[in-house]
Structure 1
Amino acid sequence: MTDHVRTDLTDGVLTVTLARPEKKNAITQAMYAALAEATRRARDDAAVRVILFRGEGDSFSAGNDIADFIAIGGAGEGQLTDAPVFHFLKALADLDKPAVAAVRGRAVGIGLTLLLHCDMVVVAEDALLSAPFVNLALAPEAASSMLLPHVLGHQRAFEIFALGEPIDGRTALAWGLANRAAPADQVDALAADVAARLASRAPNSIRKTKVLMRDAERLWTLMQAEGEAFGSQMRSPEAMEAFMAFSQKRAPNFG
C-alpha cells in the first residue's frame, strides 16, 4: 500500500513504524490507510497482544502532509469522513488491546493526538509536542477536544490548542501526557521493553481492562463531530489564508 509505513510482529508486539524521515514522517492519506489496516490487524489478530507506534529518523511525526491537506480541503461536503484518516481514527476508537508510543523529536497535530489513544507513552526529554490546529485555522481531531482536557485540564489543553506552542518531553511527563521520559537515544528501547512487558500479561484480562476504561462509541461519535468542524474550517477563508501564509512563510492576516 505504501513503503512509508512498516510493520513487524515479534513476540506478540506489532511494531508500526512511520518511515518517511525525509519529511519528518508527515502522514499522507496512503499512510493513513496503512495505519488503519495495521490498527485493525492489532485488534483482530490473536497473535498481536500490543501495538507499538514509532517514527523513523529524528521525529515521531510532523502531522498531516500539507499537500494532502490542500487536496482534502477541495473535497465536497461529507467526503472528509470517508477519507483514510477517518478509517484510522475509527480503528483507534475500536482498539481494545494495549497501544504504546515511542516519541522522539517533533510530534505535531495527529503526532500528539495519537498519543491520547495510547495506553503508555515513552517520550524523549527534548521532544516537542504541539497541536497547532488553530494556527492553521482548523479544529481539533481524533477526539482530542475531549481527551486532551481530560488529561491536562481545560486551561492547559486550551493553551495547546489555541496558541499552538510546543511543550517538551519533560513537561509532557509532568502534565500526564507520557508515562516515561528518557534521553532520545533510549526511547525506542524503553518503549520496546514496556510493550514486551504488556505483551506478557494475561491478554483477555488486559483487553477487558482497556474496554472498561474507554467508551469507543462515544469516541467515534465525537470524532465524527470534530470531522464536520474540521472539514468546514478547511473550506473556510480563514484556512485559505492560513495555508497561503504558511506556504509564503509569513504571519496570517485574519483581519
Structure 2
Amino acid sequence: MEDCGGVPIERGGLMMKPQILRTATDYRPALLWLMGRLKRAATSEALAEFERVIGDLIPAEHREENESGKIKWEWYVRWSRQDLVGAGLMGSGGHGIWTITPKGQQWLAEHPDGGGDELKAYLSSAKKSKKAGTTTSRRTSGRKTRSRRRRTQAEAGLSFDDLKHIKRYIPPDEFQARFGARWEALLAEERARVQTDISDKELAQRARQILREVYAFLSGDGGAVSSEKTYDWMQFCYALGLYRETTALFAFVFQDDLPQWAYERARKMAEACRARLG
C-alpha cells in the first residue's frame, strides 16, 4: 500500500477515507476502512491509529465521557468492532488483537470508503440471520433436552438385572457414561437389601459361638473337621485379628483337600500371622 496525493491506495483499487463521524454507527465503516490499512493491530494500537488518522472527524461531544466514565468515541470504536466481528468482516488474532478477515477485505474492494449505508444494511441483515440461527439452535437444543429427559426417564426405569445384562454388551466407558449413576444407586440398594438386620448383641453371640467351636476343635474336643471348614475358621479368626488361632488352624488345612488358590491363601495368612506374633 502507498499514498498517492494523500489518498491511500490498496491493491485492487482506491481506499477512500470516510468523511463523516456524526453517529455511533458511522464508526463502523470508518473502523473497517482503517483495518483495511492496518490488517492486524492490538486494541491500543488500533485506537491510537484511529485517532491519528481519523481524529479530525471525531466531533467534540464524542470526546466526552459517557455515563460509565468511558470516552465516547473509543467506546463507539469498540462497539463497532463487535458488530463487524459478528458479521464476519473482522476477526481476532488472539487476545486483544484485531484483524480484518478476507470477507472484510472483499467488502472494501467493493466499497472503498467502508460502505456507509450499505454496510449498515448488511450488518443489520447479518444480525437478523444470526438471531434466526440462534433461535433454530435453541429449538434444536430444546428438542435434544427433551430427548435426553425422555432417555433419562427410560433409564431410570431399568432394574438391576436389566443393567447387569446391558453391562455385558457395551464398552465399560460407555456404560459408565450412560448408566453409571443409575448402576451405583442400584448397587447401593442391593447391598442394603442383603444386609441382615441384627443387633450388636446378637452378632457378638454368634461370633462367640463360632469361637467356641474353634477352641473346642483346637483343644481336641470338637471331633473331626474338614479342611474347608478349617479354612473358613482361619478367615474368620484372621478378620478378627486372632492371629494365634489363625496360625494354629493352618496345621489342620491339607493341600490336597483344597483348590490350590485357597491353600496358598491359607498359607499366606498363616505366614502373616506368624510375622505379626514375632
TM-score (norm 1): 0.20
The structure whose Rg is larger is: 2
In proportion to residue count, which structure has more helix? 2
Larger strand fraction of residues = 1
- TM-score, scaled relative to structure 2: 0.19
Which one scores higher on RCO, CA 8 angstroms, separation ≥ 6?
A: 1
